[in-house]
Structure 1
C-alpha cells in the first residue's frame, strides 16, 4: 500500500527486491509464475516458482503453520512471506510484447526486445482477467522521456559480458540506460508520486 517497491526503484536503492507474478499470453490460462527479483548494484538474480491458476488466490491468504519449532532465516525468500510481511497487494498489471534470442555460445545468454508497453491499475485486486480497453499505453516519447517510442533492449548474461555482446554494443553504439517498466507505469497511471519516506534508506 505504501509503494515500497516503487520507491526503492525510484530512489535507486543499492540493494533491493520486488515481487511480481508473470503469465504468458494476453490472458492467464493455466499457470502463474510468482517471482522475487533481487538486485544488488548491477547484479540481478531471481527466484521464481509455478502455481496453477486456481491456486493463485491462496497466495494472498497464508495458512497457519503446524511447525512447533522456530526457523531462523537470513532473509524472507518466498512470495507468500513477502506478501504477509509487507501486506503487499497487486498494484499494476504491466503487459508488453517480447522478442527473445538465445545464444548457444555460452551456458546462458539472452537478448530481448520489449515493445508495445502498456499497463492498467489493479487497485489491490487479484483478478487476472481484464478488458483490452483497460490497458494504458506508455511507450510514447513523453512517458518514456526519450526522442522516440522506445524498444527496450536487454542483454542478459550470467557473469562476464561475452565478446559477442561487446561487439553488438560497439557496432550499434548502444548506451546503457535504466528503465523500469513497473516504475514508469506507476508514474504514467498515477502521476508523479510524492515521496512517503523520510530517508532513502527506509
Structure 2
C-alpha cells in the first residue's frame, strides 16, 4: 500500500526507544539531511507542539488489559486534538497492533461533530468510498459494540519529522508527558494534569534520565537505511512504551504528587533550565 503524509489509513512499523533529553538535538541534527519538520512543529518556536489524546475503553478496561497481558493482536481507541484543543480539527483513531505491525485508522471531525458524534446515535455510511468516512464508521461501530467510555486524557509535547527522501517515513520525539483521569468526552486539559514522565525511571529502579519517547515509523518491511544508521550511531535499544498503559498505571499506583519533589524531574524543566 502506498503511504502519504496525510493518509487516513496507515500500515507501518512503530519502533519505540526511551532516550535522555541530551539526545533530542543531536538526533534532530542527525536526521536533518533526510527529514523536514512537519507543519505542526514548524508553527512553534522550539518545534514542539501540544498533542491531547483522550483514550477510550470498555467499562471493564478490556483494551488496557490486552496491553498489560501483551496480546500479540490488540487495538485501542482514542480521540485527538492539537494545541489547546478548543478548535478543530479533531480526530478519531483506531490503532490495531498485529505482531510487529501497527495499522492506524484515522477520521477527521469538524467543530459540529465533536463530541456529539460519540454522545448521540451515530449514523453509518456503508455506501461511502471515502477512506475518512469508512474509518469514521469503523470507529462508531466499535464504539457501539464495546460501549466505550472516556478513561484518561493525556498530553505531551511533540517534535515531528517527515522524510524527504522516502515515500513515507516519520520520526517523533515526545516530551513533557501528562495525564488526568477523564469521565467525559473532553479533549481540553485541566489544571490537574500530572506528569508521568519518569514512570519509565522509577518502575525500573534506576534513574537514567530516559524520559523522552523516540519513535521511528515506516512502512512494513521498508526500514530506511538512515533509520538503521541512526539506531546504530546512538546505540538505541528498542522497547515498548504505551502512553495509555503508563498513564493509567501511574493513576492507579501513584497519586502523581508524592514523587513530584525531588524525584519526579520533568523533561520540561530539564530541557529549558
TM-score (norm 2): 0.62
Deviation track 1:50-94 (CA, whole Å, cap 9, x = no partner) reads 111331222232257799xxxxxxxx9611111111110010111
Residues 87-119 of structure 1: CA deviation (Å, up to 9, x unaligned)? 100101111001011111110001110000001
Unaligned stretches of 5+ in structure 2? 1-58, 127-135, 255-273
Matched, 1:158 2:216: no
CA shift, 1:142, in A, is 1.9
1:94/1:117 contact within 8 Å kept: yes
What's the CA shift for 1:127?
A: 2.9
User: Comparing both chains, which one has the higher relative contact order based on Cα–Cα distances under 8 Å and sequence gaps of 6 or more?
Assistant: 2
Q: Which residue among 172, 177, 192 is the counterpart of 2:239? A: 177
Q: Is the 8 A contact 1:143 1:184 kept in 2?
A: no
Deviation at 1:137, TM superposition (A): 0.5
Cα gap change, 1:32 to 1:145, in 2 (>3 Å)? farther
Match of 2:209 in 1: 148
Corresponding residue for 1:197? none
Q: Give unmatched runs, 5+ long, in structure 1.
A: 68-75, 193-202
- Which residue pairs with 1:90 in the alignment? 150
CA contact under 8 A between 1:15 and 1:39: conserved in structure 2? yes
8 Å contact kept, 1:138–1:185: yes
SS in 1 for 2:150: coil
Shift in alpha-carbon separation, 1:144–1:18, aligned structure 2, 3 A: farther
Secondary structure of the structure 1 residue equivalent to 2:155: strand
